[in-house]
Chain A
Amino acid sequence: MTKKHFAVLLLVSTASIHGPAIANAQESMFESEQDLSGLSIEELAQIPVRSASKREEPLSHVPTAMFVITGDEIAASAANSVPEALRLAPNLQVQQVDARQYAISARGFNGIETSNKLLVLLDGRSVYSPLASTVFWELHNRPVEDIAQIEIISGPGGTLYGPNAVNGVVNLITRDARDTVGGLVRATAGNRERTLAARYGAPIGENGALRVYGQYYDREGLPGGAGPDTNDRFRGWQAGFRSDFDGGPSHFTIQGDVFDSDTGRLNGDGDRGHNLLARWTTQRSEASAIRVQAYYDHIERNFLLVHDSLQTFDLETQFNLTAGVHEIVAGGGIRTTRDEFINNLNNFQLVPPSRRLWVYNAFVQDRIGLTPELSLILGIKAEQTSFTGVELLPNVRAAWHPNPETLLWAAVSRAVRTPSRIDRQLAALPLLAAADAFASEKLIAFEAGYRGQPTLRTSLTVSVFYNLYEDIRTTEFIGNPLPIQLRNGLEGHSYGIEAWSSTQFASWWRLSLGLTTLWKSFEMAPGRTDLAGFASLGRDPDYQLLARSHMILNDRLHLNAGLRWVGELEPQPGIASYVEADARLSYRMSDQIEFYVAGQNLLHRRHLESADTVRGQAAQRSLYAGTRLRF
Chain B
Amino acid sequence: MASAPASLRAQPTEQAVKAAFIPKFARYVEWPAAAMPGPRQPLVLCVIGRDPFGQLLDRAASSETIGGRSVTLRRLPSADGGEGCHFAFVQGATGADTTRYLLALRNQPILTITDGRAGPQRGMIHFTISSGRVRFFIDEATAAQRGLVISSRLLALALGVRQRRS
Contact = CB atoms under 8 A, between A and B. Distances in A.
Interface in B40-84: 50-56, 59-60, 63-64
Contact count band on A: 35 or more
Q: Is the interface of A mostly helix, strand, loop or mixed?
A: mixed
B129 interface: yes
A323 interface: no
A11 B5 contact: yes
B6 interface: yes
Q: Is the interface of B mostly helix, strand, loop or mixed?
A: mixed
Interface stretch (B99-107, B142-150, B158-166): B158-166
B60 A327 contact: no
A206 B118 CA distance: 10
A39 B17 CA distance: 10
A612 to B, nearest CB: 33
Nearest to A206: B93
B95 A20 contact: no
Contact of B2 (A3, A179, A630): A3
A16 B1 contact: no
A30 B14 contact: no
B6 A327 contact: yes
A23 B12 contact: no
B52 A377 contact: no
B25 to A, nearest CB: 8
Interface string B3-24: 1111111111111110111011
Contact of A404 (B1, B10, B53): B10
Given A20-B54, A329-B2, A365-B2, A47 B13 contact: no
B55 A555 contact: no
B36 interface: no
A41 B153 CA distance: 9
A369 interface: yes
Contacts of B131: 58, 70, 72
Contacts of A327: 3, 5-6
A224 to B, nearest CB: 41
Interface residues of B, number: 60
Contacts of B15: 16-17, 23, 26, 52
B10 A52 contact: no
B8 A50 contact: yes
A548 to B, nearest CB: 14
Nearest to B51: A20
Contact of B24 (A41, A160, A507, A591): A41
Contacts of B162: 555, 591
A157 interface: yes
Nearest to A52: B14
B94 to A, nearest CB: 6
A328 B54 CA distance: 30
Interface in A318-363: 320, 322, 327-329
A19 B4 CA distance: 25
A57 interface: yes
B71 to A, nearest CB: 11
B127 to A, nearest CB: 11
A404 B122 CA distance: 33
A50 B14 contact: yes
Interface string B112-123: 000011111010
B26 to A, nearest CB: 11
B63 A37 contact: yes
Interface in A448-494: none
A267 interface: no
A407 B1 CA distance: 13
Contacts of B35: none
Top 5 nearest A-B pairs (CB, nearest first) are: A23-B54, A58-B132, A20-B54, A61-B7, A36-B20
13 contacts: A3-B2, A12-B13, A16-B15, A20-B52, A35-B59, A41-B25, A49-B14, A56-B132, A60-B132, A64-B1, A329-B3, A367-B5, A407-B7
Interface of B: 1-17, 19-21, 23-25, 28, 50-56, 59-60, 63-64, 93-95, 116-120, 122, 129-135, 153-154, 156-158, 160-163
